[in-house]
Amino acid sequence: MITMKLIAASAHSTGANGQNAIELANDADPRTLALDGIDRVDLNFPKFTDGRAFSQAFLLRRRMGFKGEIRATGDVLIDQLLQMQRTGFDCAVLREDQNADFAQAQLERYAAFYQGDAATVQPQFARGVAA
């Protein structure tokens, strides 16, 4: 499982320190990106109910094999963090009114998931079984 880094809105800057970063609009197809030399992709949640960035993160991780940082920005709520983690995000910039301690507690709530996800493809019953 990906360990998710949490960033307070006040600590986030759009410029990546020493990173080659791009920001992808939530209506853009990530499969059209040239990812050579890209260290970070910022995916935006313009509002809580718009989940297109979940699909973009999944495509970047599973289909395109992107190994760099995928960062959630915008209207990021604690309620979304587990799904973000399971679809491939490894960093989230919390909306200003979100409590970082509560967010961390949410991420620690479940040690593992039965189903596979973007980071751990095999379901739990199949992990560790010799092929």
21-72 confidence digits (pLDDT tens)? 999 999 999 999 989 999 999 999 999 899 999 999 999 999 999 999 999 9
Q: Is the dihedral of CA 21, 104, 26, 115 positive or negative?
A: positive
pLDDT band at 17 (very low <50, low <70, confident <90, very high): low
Range of the domain at 24: 5-126
**Domain contains 42:** yes
Tell me the average pLDDT of the chain.
87
Of the candidates 45, 4, 3, which has an alpha carbon nearest to the alpha carbon of residue 26? 45
**Cα 48 from Cα 73, distance rounded (Å):** 11
Q: What is the pLDDT of residue 18?
A: 59
**Domain contains 10:** yes
pLDDT band at 130 (very low <50, low <70, confident <90, very high): very low
**Cα 15 from Cα 89, distance rounded (Å):** 18
Question: For the domain that residue 94 is a member of, what is the CATH number?
Answer: 3.20.20.70
**Domain contains 131:** no
Specify the number of domains making up the chain.
Answer: 1
**Domain contains 74:** yes
